Structure 1
Amino acid sequence: MSVQAEDHRRFARFRPPQAGEGGTMSLVDHFRELRYRLVVSILAIVVTSSVAFVFYRPLVQLVMWPYQLASEAIKAKNPTAQLQVVNTGVVAPFLLNLRIAMVAGLIAACPIWLYEIWAFIVPGLLDKEKKWAIRFVGASVPLFLLGAGLGYWVLPKGISMMLNFTPHGMGITNLLDMNAFLALELRIILLFGVCFLLPVFLVLLNLVHVVSSSQLAAARKWAIFGFFVIGAFANPSGDPISMCALAVPMALMYVIAEFICRANEKRHPVDEFGIDRDEFNIKVD
């Protein structure tokens, strides 16, 4: 056995299993593939989180910016408002910094774990369709970051509206637990980021012949209604501006994805059985 073959065999377990013809793979290999993608994603998040932990002070300021902006808006309307940030427990400061570093690492590593998600789907695609996976990853990263940034921008308005329900002149102090606030901020940021991946997901489903543009068109009004429902429940406040900040972009991206799917079907016609006529040279009257 050659040295090259021996090295290939030695490091085979550190590589994902290869799919067979047509992207087929056994159930065991699917689990091995999933394990590999999870390990790579977790290692990437661990590395980026370790780097972020070194810069925890500016990251804490970044995390607290929405609350500070909201508290300034509240005190501008009610100078007597009493707001206080608390972090209880001896190990709470360390755990808080660790959580903030993990959140920053999760966002910073999004190009890697997004790629691993799409790479897990790639074996089921045809060879000519695999080239689209890289384009999907290239579109997913900026869309995820755009959605996360929008959620970060909307958060202060929601906090301000919720805290404004505190009765004035009654000596009530609003105590903000840092860990609870970080959990809320993380949910909002990740929800907005994941929702902005909707058009990429829809186009991918169209590419593998799971959904068609006609199906998307038929479900459009219900999808848009659902976006506004999600926008109403996803935001910490119930104001129309915060709700529309998520619902309107999702509705626009849904329509854009529908047009992309329709254009893709015109280039590669698919019959009712999901067979690409161009690929198999099927003549349809």
Structure 2
Amino acid sequence: MPLADHLRELRNRLAKGLLAIVVASIVAGFYNKQLMDFLAAPVPACEQGQSNTGGKCANIVFNKLLSPFTTTVKVTLLAGVVLSCPVWLYQLWAFVAPGLHRSEKKYTYYFVAAAVPLFMAGAYLAYLVMPISVKVLISITPDAAGNLLELDDVLDFTVRMVLVFGLAFELPLLLIMLNLVGLVTGRKMIHWWRAVVMGVFVFGAIATPTTDPIGMIALSGPIIVLFFGAVGFAMLNDKRRARRNPDAELDDDEASHLDLTPEPVGRIESVSAARALPEQAGADADGGRTPRVNGYDDIT
């Protein structure tokens, strides 16, 4: 299609995706209290008559006049984006798919089929780890102080944890895709295991918005297991590729193996080949030139 038609189609796809988000957000608005209770569940709330000093529990409060409204809008929009993801993801796919080849579409199906469960597993693990992380964080509170947490801060903490865990679980899938397109081999990946393990633990310590080691271990452990799973898949794929094409693993500046075994040439074929060649123009005994064959020398 012309560029204007592509832009018009992109506008229509975006409009449909945004409409789905708005409708899902309106529906989620009727359950905003349940959503807020769900997001605040990892925080150990103080019971009636219980003091929030000493780092044992915390009270969720709003310190600004507009905080209840803005937090409600943020929660409903977040729920709308999550609930409507099948619609806007389909609109994105419908815009991109016509430009892909059949093999590229097949790999895209595999990628989405694996990416969604991995992200959901990371998000679920984050929600399981959050209560422990919150308890460790508020336990640092001195005995003379108390904990008053804004629901907006709790929401930001939850979203960050879910996104960090969910996206981190996509790293092995990225390595598998790089192996499928031939950019990295399983042998190279296994040579990186020390650096990868160290880098994953450092990433877990920096990415998790907590200071406790529980979140770091909960994030780093599954990623390392998934990394070695990706290495195993890459090595099996390399063996399959080598059976189909022995020269597939060669570098760009590396020569392929040549068969230098001499083959016998028959006397009749050699004689006929020699007769088929014209005589070369060379110097004779008197220093002159031999006549050309059919008016041409060996070059022309």
Q: Which amino acid aligns with 1:61?
A: D
Aligned-partner Cα distance in 2 for 1:190–1:229: 17
Is the Cα contact below 8 Å between 1:114 and 1:141 reproduced in 2? no
Query: Counterpart of 1:147?
Result: 122
Q: 1:50 aligns with which of 2, 5, 26?
A: 26
Q: Which has the higher helix share?
A: 1
Query: Counterpart of 1:88?
Result: 63
Change beyond 3 A, Cα 1:132–1:89: same
Is the Cα contact below 8 Å between 1:162 and 1:237 reproduced in 2? yes
Matches within 5 A, 1:150-169: 150-168=125-143
Q: 1:271 aligns with which of 225, 231, 249?
A: 249
Once the two structures are superposed, what CA deviation does each residue of 1:157-188 show, in whole Å capped at 9, x if it has no partner?
Answer: 111111111111x2x22110111221111111
Change beyond 3 A, Cα 1:131–1:60: same
Q: Which amino acid aligns with 1:59?
A: L
Q: Which amino acid aligns with 2:224?
A: A
Q: Which amino acid aligns with 1:272?
A: L
Query: Counterpart of 2:219?
Result: 246
Once the two structures are superposed, what CA deviation does each residue of 1:39-73 show, in whole Å capped at 9, x if it has no partner?
Answer: 7765554443333223211111100100136x68x
Matches within 5 A, 1:119-138: 127-138=102-113
Query: Counterpart of 1:66?
Result: 42
Aligned-partner Cα distance in 1 for 2:221–2:92: 26
Aligned-partner Cα distance in 2 for 1:80–1:198: 36
Aligned-partner Cα distance in 1 for 2:108–2:13: 15
Change beyond 3 A, Cα 1:123–1:12: closer
Q: 1:102 aligns with which of 77, 88, 96?
A: 77
Aligned-partner Cα distance in 2 for 1:67–1:162: 10
Over the matched positions of the two proteins, sequence identity in percent amounts to 34
Q: Which amino acid aligns with 2:171?
A: L
Change beyond 3 A, Cα 1:209–1:44: farther
Aligned-partner Cα distance in 2 for 1:283–1:114: 47
Matches within 5 A, 1:217-232: 217-232=190-205
Cα deviation for residue 109 of structure 1 reads: 4.2
Aligned-partner Cα distance in 1 for 2:223–2:20: 29
Once the two structures are superposed, what CA deviation does each residue of 1:201-230 show, in whole Å capped at 9, x if it has no partner?
Answer: 111122222222122112121111111112
CA root-mean-square deviation: 3.8
Cα deviation for residue 124 of structure 1 reads: 8.7
Matches within 5 A, 1:171-182: 172-182=145-155
Aligned-partner Cα distance in 2 for 1:59–1:92: 16
Aligned-partner Cα distance in 2 for 1:120–1:260: 31
Q: Which amino acid aligns with 1:57?
A: K
> Larger Cα Rg: Structure 1 or Structure 2?
2
Q: Which amino acid aligns with 2:165?
A: F
Change beyond 3 A, Cα 1:124–1:202: farther
Q: 2:188 aligns with which of 203, 208, 215?
A: 215
Aligned-partner Cα distance in 2 for 1:284–1:227: 43
Query: Counterpart of 1:29?
Result: none
What are the ranges of 5 or more consecutive residues in structure 1 without an aligned counterpart?
17-34, 275-281
TM-score normalised to structure 1 length: 0.72
The alignment of Structure 1 onto Structure 2 pairs a total of residues equal to: 249
Aligned-partner Cα distance in 2 for 1:118–1:273: 34
Q: 1:197 aligns with which of 161, 167, 170?
A: 170
Which range moves more in the overlay, 87-96 or 121-130?
121-130
Is the Cα contact below 8 Å between 1:228 and 1:244 reproduced in 2? yes
Is the Cα contact below 8 Å between 1:83 and 1:174 reproduced in 2? yes
Cα deviation for residue 134 of structure 1 reads: 0.7
Is the Cα contact below 8 Å between 2:55 and 2:138 reproduced in 1? no
